[in-house]
């Protein structure tokens, strides 16, 4: 048996159009949703002028919608938090654009800085808080679009799963 491969590609594979996947207009995979969030994050001149800060409650703005998904821009002044919650049937991608946000889950606490991303599945319980002295901005992509955000007691989020 020959150790060389029987398949050889000659020339530029990108010049073979029938082998390329057509670019999608809208994301359909977790990686594509994370990529969408990164591309929006990189377009600072688009989102930055929209950001507002509200001392009373978290400010939010629906930035974009597509088939079955929504993209939200949120701001967090020092001390603001989400409370412990999940996102119902929605999966999501949380991307920090500015500042630092702290996420608390049953598995622990983690600080997320600019460019950090968290991908989560339906039913994922967490709390997000701005524990710093500077404002923060985050981008949230939900699929399907966010229809509910059930709140949870502290005991339910901090319980360590058995096993």
Q: 156 pLDDT band (50/70/90 cuts)?
A: very low
70, 138, 144 from 106: Cα distances, Å: 26, 22, 24
Q: What is the mean pLDDT of the chain?
A: 88
Which are the contacts of 93, defined by CB distance < 8 A and separation ≥ 6?
Answer: 30, 33, 34, 36, 37, 117, 118, 119, 120, 140, 141
Exposure string over 96-117, b if 16+ CB within 10 A, otherwise e: bbbbbbbbbbeeeeeebeeebb
Express each pLDDT in 33-48 by its tens digit: 999 999 999 999 999 9
User: Domains of the chain (ranges plus CATH)?
Assistant: 26-158 (2.60.120.10)
Q: Is residue 23's pLDDT more than 80? A: no
Which helix (H) or strand (E) segment is 114 a member of? none
Q: 106 pLDDT band (50/70/90 cuts)?
A: very high
Please state, as a whole number, how many other Cβ atoms lie within 10 Å of the Cβ of residue 40: 19
Q: Is 152 annotated as a binding residue?
A: no
pTM: 0.81
Q: Is 126 annotated as a binding residue?
A: yes
CB 136 within 8 A of CB 130: yes
Express each pLDDT in 49-96 by its tens digit: 999 999 999 999 999 999 999 999 999 999 999 999 999 999 999 999
Q: Is 18 annotated as a binding residue?
A: no
φ/ψ bin of 158: left (φ > 0), alpha (ψ from -120 to 50), beta (otherwise):
alpha
């Amino acid at each position: 048996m020959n150790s060389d491969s029987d398949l050889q590609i000659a020339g530029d594979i990108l010049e073979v159009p029938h082998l390329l996947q057509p670019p999608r207009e809208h994301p359909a995979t977790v990686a594509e949703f994370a990529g969408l969030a990164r591309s929006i994050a990189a377009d600072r001149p688009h989102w930055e002028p929209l950001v507002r800060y509200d001392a009373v409650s978290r400010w939010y703005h629906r930035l974009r919608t597509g088939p079955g998904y929504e993209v939200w821009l949120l701001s967090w002044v020092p001390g603001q938090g989400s409370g412990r919650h999940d996102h119902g049937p929605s999966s999501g991608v949380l991307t920090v654009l500015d500042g630092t946000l702290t996420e608390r889950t049953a598995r622990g606490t983690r600080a997320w800085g600019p460019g950090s991303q968290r991908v989560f599945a339906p039913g994922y319980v967490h709390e997000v808080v701005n524990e710093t002295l500077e404002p923060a901005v985050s981008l949230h992509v939900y699929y399907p679009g966010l229809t509910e955000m059930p709140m949870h007691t502290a005991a339910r989020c901090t319980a360590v799963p058995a096993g």
